[in-house]
Amino acid sequence: MTTPRDRETLIAIARSAIEAELDGQKLEITEYPEGSGGVFVTLKSEGRLRGCIGHLQSEDPIYKTVAKMARSAAFSDPRFPPLTRNEFDSISIEISRLSEFFPIAAENVVVGTHGLLLSMGYHSGLLLPQVPGEQGWDRTAFLSGLCRKSGLPEGSWENTEAVLEAFTAEVFGEK
Give the CATH number for residue 123. Answer: 3.30.1490.150
Q: What is the pLDDT of residues 144-168, one digit of tens each?
A: 999 999 999 999 999 999 999 999 9
pLDDT score at 162 = 96
Average pLDDT of 101-114?
A: 97
One DSSP character per residue, 55-88 reads: ES---S-HHHHHHHHHHHHHHT-TTSPPP-HHHH
DSSP bridge pairs for 85: none
Domain closes at, from 66, 98, 130: 98
Shared domain check, 90 and 121: no
Shared domain check, 109 and 53: no
Whether the Cβ atoms of residue 98 and residue 40 lie closer than 8 Å to each other: yes
Which residues contact residue 55 at a Cβ distance below 8 angstroms, ignoring those fewer than 6 apart?
38, 39, 40, 65, 69
Is the pLDDT at 137 greater than 80? The verdict is yes
Shared domain check, 141 and 92: no
DSSP bridge pairs for 102: 166
The answer to the question of residue 174 being in a domain is no
Whether the Cβ atoms of residue 96 and residue 170 lie closer than 8 Å to each other: yes
How distant is the alpha carbon of residue 131 from its chain centre?
Answer: 10
Mean pLDDT, the chain, rounded, equals: 95
pLDDT score at 3 = 92
Sheet holding 169-173, edge to edge: 48-55, 39-45, 91-98, 169-173
Is the pLDDT at 175 greater than 80? The verdict is no
Shared domain check, 54 and 39: yes
CA distance 120 to 128: 18
Question: Which range marks the domain in which residue 22 is found?
Answer: 4-98
The answer to the question of residue 13 being in a domain is yes
pLDDT score at 119 = 97
Q: What is the pLDDT of residues 12-31, one digit of tens each?
A: 999 999 999 999 999 988 88
